[in-house]
Every structure is written in structure tokens, then in C-alpha cells.
Structure 1
């Protein structure tokens, strides 16, 4: 679950820990030589978004000169110059071109920028398929930012966690995820976002994910932060993949009583360990019904939202993360 902080927004270990390791910012200008063991930390590689005096490629070259990258297991790619206008293509290319120098890399976060560095929907991403192709032993891939994000269907034998944090996830990317063969994937988390920022995914785009055919090991499914959370809930209520899940997250979106009703009248959810519905628009009565229906399940119903009345009888609702 991504926790909300009023200063950082929705975050997930951008500066402290990643993949079970302490995050250490690599400073290309520090000549002391006092660096931690290469495999003891997650290395954060970043440049200033605004008015940077150092080229990202130069910083990356300095990292490879000073750190034994053959032992690096986790990399957190933070910001790059003008990330609000320049895509991650060069960053991806640098990693792919030097893949042989990172044989131990197992966890990679691309675009780990808090909001004061770059709003999530301002981050310009690129096609991340080459990362999966160049790192066949990668076990975890996190990507933040949906603008320009691309993915082609691939088979990857090792990936266990795939997280795409966006304020608007393109439907083409959602379809590609469903058409990837990911036999080891246990954790899939998609922040679908809003149409205004490119989040045009439909239920049809999620069909292969919900079937679970190419995701035999899946235990955590998050279809989150969506304007159509009620429709997703109704589809999940009959989705074959749900029977094998331990955690289901329909959080951060515009879930109302209609979506919760669909969940309660669909297939049993009592096998779940956790149902995450935080940031929702359920009534007090529906909250009580969900809790009573799933007594053995840890249900997160925090962040109850009320919506805003526009004065003409229409209630405006919002996802947790968009811009």
C-alpha cells in the first residue's frame, strides 16, 4: 500500500528503503571514496530536474567507475534532467547498454521522484520493454509516471513484482501487461489514474489480467486509483484470477456502494488475507456490511471520502493520484 503524506503525496520508499535495502544516494562529486559495500544498499541515481549542471550519462559513468556494479542488486533511478519534458529513453538505454555490468541486479525502480521534484503525471517515461529483455533475472520492476510509457508483450521467467504508479495508465500498457507471460509474477499493482492524464484503460484492456491465464503465481492484484473502480469491482466479482489471490486492492479510486455491492454478491472473498479499499466513497452502512461479510479478512476501509456537491445535485469524486 502506498501511504499518503501531505508533503510527499503518495510515496513508496523513494528515499529510505527499497527492496529491503537502505537507499543510498550516489554523489558523483564525492571523492572521499567512503562508499558502502555495493550489495549492501539500493543505489539511488539521479540528477536535478531543473537547471542541472551535470549530464545524467556522465553521472552514470561515474557510478560505474567508482562502484563495483557486478555486485549491485538494487537500483533506484530518481530524476533526470527536465524529466517533465524529456523522456526516460536515455536512462533506459544506459541501463540496457551496460546490462552485462549489472549481473546481480534484481530490483529496479525507474522514476522514483517525489512530487516536489516532478508531479507524477509530468514524468515523461518511455518503452520499458528493453529493461525486461536485457535483465532476464530481474525480480522486481517499479515505474513511476505514465506519460509516454510503453510496454510490449514479452515472456519473463524471473519477474516477481511489477508496479506501475501513474496518474493515467494507457490502455495499451494495461493490455500489454495482460499479454505478457509472467510465470513467476506474484505482485501486480497498476495505478490506472484518470483519462485527463492518459488513463484510458477499459475493462476490455484488463481482460487477460483478470483471467489470470498468464499469471499462474499471482497472489497480489492491485487495480487501483481508477475513475471506473465500480466497473472494475463488478468485473473482479467474477474474475477467475481472484480465487488464487491473497491480497486484492481496489484502493485509491472512486469506489462507491455500487462497486462494493458487486463485490459482496460476487464470488466468495473469504479466502483473502487482505482486501484494500482505502480512499473510497462507501456509505457508513456499506462499510459495516463489508466488515461483517469478511470477518476473517483484514479489510482496509480508511480514507472514507464524501465527494463534493457542485450545487446542482451532482457529486464530484476524485481518485487519490492524478496530476
Structure 2
């Protein structure tokens, strides 16, 4: 399985790790020029996340900060992000310029993606109405009830198994400015229990009129998702369609090829797939010759056989 890496960029700004105990404002970049990452240790932390955030607020002119990346908080594999959310909400008057927030930037060494304990993240969107980009990694305990947010342009929920209530909550939300939606649907081994019918509000094209980049990826039902996408009204307005990181095989690719035209796309991302060479060639001949950038992986993913049963795996599970 792929190891999830730390973010290197958010809101077009490079990620800069929060000030150390000996740093002064003179040692640091201008507050508006980077995305600030605040973190502590997951295991055996010497300070709490709240203490790290307090030092950040004492050292940096937070009124100019445009992007924040929340890294590990102590014991993130069993302690939820609710404390972090409360601290951020308490500081919202000190963060008037905040436009981008990512919650849970951890690698597998810090906490496996399926272990990261989240909470109801909707208060962050309510508390920061000017937020334009919002991302969450980890779905244990994650809640995303239907909401309205008029400024949000990009939403990413990264998981090894996204609960159906979260998928339905996103689909029922009113996000009129949303241009980029990225859902890692995951595997039932780690909590994924949605079906393609739960994606219908997203695929209809009615909920998010400005959507241009749709990623429904890392799914163990990627063939079924591809079949639903093949006739989905939303596709006609997309620039980028991403069905990567899952168990996509020839059946799903055939549905895409037999569905509505995809030649208007700028990019089709299918990396980490289980496609045969003839189907790869059909995709290339149909789309690349029409000017569509397509990511198929040089070799695709590898199937495994267990007691005579062939298994396919998503890119990111545990």
C-alpha cells in the first residue's frame, strides 16, 4: 500500500513547520507567504498540540496567516481531533485571513490513516466562513453533516474507509463555489460502507454547479463507481476526472469507454489500476489522440491470490 506523505503545499503555499522553542519572528518567513504546519509527536509527546499552537500564536502575526496544516496531536490514534477543533475555533478572531486548513497531516509512522481519530469537522466550516480550501485525513469518528458554505472551493477527505454518513453528508451539502472535490472512498476493511447510489447527488451535477475536478478514488468498488460515472451528468462540465488508487479493472474501463464522451477532459487519472494491456491501448487510442492527458501507471497494480481467490487492493487502506 502507498505511504501517505506529508503535505508539501497548501493554497499554493509551501508548507513550513511551526516555530521551534528558540525561534523568533526574525527567524521566520513572512506569515502570509507559507502554509504553517503545527504539530507535536503522536507517541511520547513532550508538549501538547495546544502548547505548540500557543507558541505559534505568540511568535507569528496570525492576522496575516492564510493557510494552516494541522499535523499530529498526541495520541491521535485514540484521542480525537475535537480538542484541536476547539482551539482553532477559539482562535478564529486571530485568524481573519485564513483561507485554507488541512486537519490530520500524518504519515503512517505517526498514525496509520485508518487510526487517525477525527470528530465532527463541520464547526470549522461554520466558524471560518471565508475558508476556500479544507482537507481532512483519517475517518475514524469523522462526521460531516450536510451544511452550507458559500466560499469553499476545494474539499478533500482522505481515508482508508469513508463512512456512508460522511459521503451522504457531502452529497447533501450546499457548496455553490466548490470546484474541486476529492473523496477517498476506501475499503470495507477500514469502514467504507457506501454504495454508488450514495454518490448520486454528487454525480447528478445539481449540487455543485461549479465543480470542475472530481476525484472518487481509492475505492474497492472502483468498477461500480466508474460505471456510475460513465453516464453521470456532472462529467460534461469536468476538466479533471480522477478514479485512481482503487481496484479499477477492465469492466470499469469498458463502462467509461462505452459511456458519454470523455474527450473534453483535460485529464483522466486512473493510476493504480488492474487494467489489461488491450484496454490500456483502447483508452490511449480513444483519449490521448483527442488531447486528453491520461495517467495509467506504467505497469498498474498487482493482484494477489489467496487460497485460489484473486484479490485486488486499494492504494491506501490501513
Calculate the TM-score normalised by the size of structure 1: 0.94
Residue aligning to 1:292 = 285
Cα shift at 1:242: 0.6
Residue aligning to 1:22 = 14
Describe how 1:134-283 pairs up with structure 2 within 5 A.
134-283=127-276
In structure 1, list runs of 5 or more residues that go unmatched: none
Aligned residues: 314
Taking the aligned partners of 1:31 and 1:234, their CA distance within structure 2 comes to: 53
Cα shift at 1:59: 1.9
Cα shift at 1:28: 4.6
Cα shift at 1:287: 0.5
- 2:19/2:28 contact within 8 Å kept: no
Cα shift at 1:32: 3.8
Cα shift at 1:161: 0.6
SS, match of residue 31 in structure 2: coil
Of 127-136 and 20-29, the range deviating more from structure 2: 20-29
In structure 2, list runs of 5 or more residues that go unmatched: none
- 2:19/2:55 contact within 8 Å kept: no
Cα shift at 1:99: 1.1
- 2:230/2:259 contact within 8 Å kept: yes
Q: Does 1:49 align with 2:45?
A: no
Cα shift at 1:197: 0.8
Cα shift at 1:114: 1.4
SS, match of residue 33 in structure 2: coil
Calculate the TM-score normalised by the size of structure 2: 0.95
Q: Does 1:309 align with 2:305?
A: yes
Bigger RCO of structures 1 and 2 (CA < 8 A, at least 6 apart): 2
- 1:172/1:205 contact within 8 Å kept: no
Cα shift at 1:276: 0.4
Taking the aligned partners of 2:23 and 2:215, their CA distance within structure 1 comes to: 43
Of 42-51 and 62-71, the range deviating more from structure 2: 62-71
Cα shift at 1:275: 0.5
Runs (4 or more) in structure 1 with deviation over 6 Å come to: none
Spell out, residue by residue over 1:219-268, the C-alpha distance to the aligned partner (whole angstroms, 9 max, x if none): 00000000100000110011111110000011000001000011111111
Describe how 1:90-101 pairs up with structure 2 within 5 A.
90-101=83-94
Residue aligning to 2:119 = 126
SS, match of residue 39 in structure 1: helix
- CA RMSD between the two structures: 1.4
